[in-house]
A and B are shown apart, each in its own frame.
Chain A
Amino acid sequence: MRRTAATGIALLALLAPAPAAFAQDCPQTTLGDIEDEVMCPVCGTPLGLATEAPQAQRERDYIQSLIDDCRSKDEIKQALVAQFGEEVLALPGDEGDDDLGDVLVYVIPALGILLAAGGIAFAVVRWRGAGPRGGGPAPAGAADSSRVDTDMERYDL
């Protein structure tokens, strides 16, 4: 009896590290990580933003099944492309063809922001520079000064 128990414990000790080693081999891919980089094709939004759509939920289940199969992020993306086509990839350049469009999609918005900021700055500078000319209000005349003095005396200020 004691020998059987000892054999059992020894077997358990041998088997115990196996799941840990297996987990180490598995890529650390998460659903949340992939959701932000792929589209929900029916919703037309990134999968991470598509909350209730049934197609989005099925797509998540499919991704999760691939994660459970220890697939890497790239492998999962390739599997999604095989199912839904290139349009499922949310990030420019993910198709791997490195064409000019993938660069322009980042460059054009950046240029647009720079131009808009420059335009606004230019407009503000011009607007402030176009204030009243002559460096302030014209000096009061003698008649005005006299009237002010009279008023102040009247009100005892």
Chain B
Amino acid sequence: MRRVLSPVPVAILCVVLALVALLAYGLSQNEPDRSVEDALARGELEQAPALELPKLSGGGEGSLADYRGEVVVLNFWASWCEPCREESPLLQRWHKRMAGRGGTVLGVDVLDVTSDAQDFIDEYGLTYPMLKDKAGDALEGFGVVAYPETFVIDRDGRIRAVRRGPVDEAFMRTEVAPLLEET
């Protein structure tokens, strides 16, 4: 005799399965995008995503394309980010080193109060150009999930290195200095 399953346990089972599927989907969506690292590991050089944002100091927009032909150290930071304090003096020092050799640091202040960011810039005497990403719109394209994160972009606009976390002298010497020699 065929036994018919009662609908209540079946309904509960369906709800549980749906919740598990939803949880799995949510977890998969929260996985950070590491396509840049994957491409670098394969030896492929990908073009940096387009980036156009308001200048932090006001006065119009700035973009990554403005620096085509230069080596760009693109640094995502925020004033409330403690590790960003650690690396800021180093970035300023390297900005000065690169300035006469076709390179620049380009800061992107993310999800931050502008006056706090300005105080941070004054405190560390940062002179490199700064853009403001108030809603974090640029983060997805670069797979940024934490701060600071830094992308080294060559003169052709291709990503050559990534650092998830604060940069140090060794990273800058290894990843940035050689690019300054390239023409």
| Chain A residues within 8 Å of B, Cβ to Cβ | 41-42, 54-55, 57-59, 62, 82-88, 119-120, 123-124, 126-127, 130
Contacts and interface: CB of A to CB of B under 8 A. Distances in A.
Contacts, number: 50
B11 interface: yes
> Which 6 pairs of residues, A with B, have the shortest CB-CB distance?
A85-B135, A123-B7, A58-B80, A54-B80, A41-B111, A55-B80
A88 B135 CA distance: 8
Contact of B136 (A41, A58, A62): A41
A83 B78 contact: no
Nearest to B136: A41
B113 interface: yes
A41 B135 contact: yes
Interface of B is mostly: loop
A126 B7 CA distance: 8
Contacts of B78: 42, 55
Contacts of B11: 119-120, 123
A62 B82 CA distance: 18
A54 B137 CA distance: 20
A130 B6 contact: yes
A124 B8 contact: yes
Interface string B70-94: 0000000011111000000000000
A107 B7 CA distance: 28
9 contacts: A41-B111, A55-B111, A83-B113, A85-B137, A86-B135, A120-B11, A123-B8, A127-B6, A127-B7
A75 to B, nearest CB: 15
B158 interface: no
A46 to B, nearest CB: 15
Contacts of A84: 111, 134-135
Interface of B: 4, 6-8, 11, 78-82, 111-114, 116, 134-137
Given A84-B135, A120-B11, A54 B81 contact: yes
Given A62-B116, A123-B11, 14 more contacts: A41-B111, A41-B135, A42-B111, A55-B80, A58-B80, A58-B113, A59-B113, A62-B113, A84-B111, A84-B134, A85-B135, A86-B135, A88-B135, A127-B7
Pick the most buried of B82, B111, B112, B116: most chain A CB atoms within 10 A of its CB: B111
Nearest to A53: B80
A85 B53 CA distance: 13
Contacts of A42: 78, 111, 136
Contacts of A82: 134
Nearest to B82: A54
B113 A87 contact: no
Contact of B135 (A54, A87, A123, A130): A87
A82 B58 CA distance: 13
A59 B113 CA distance: 8
A129 B47 CA distance: 66
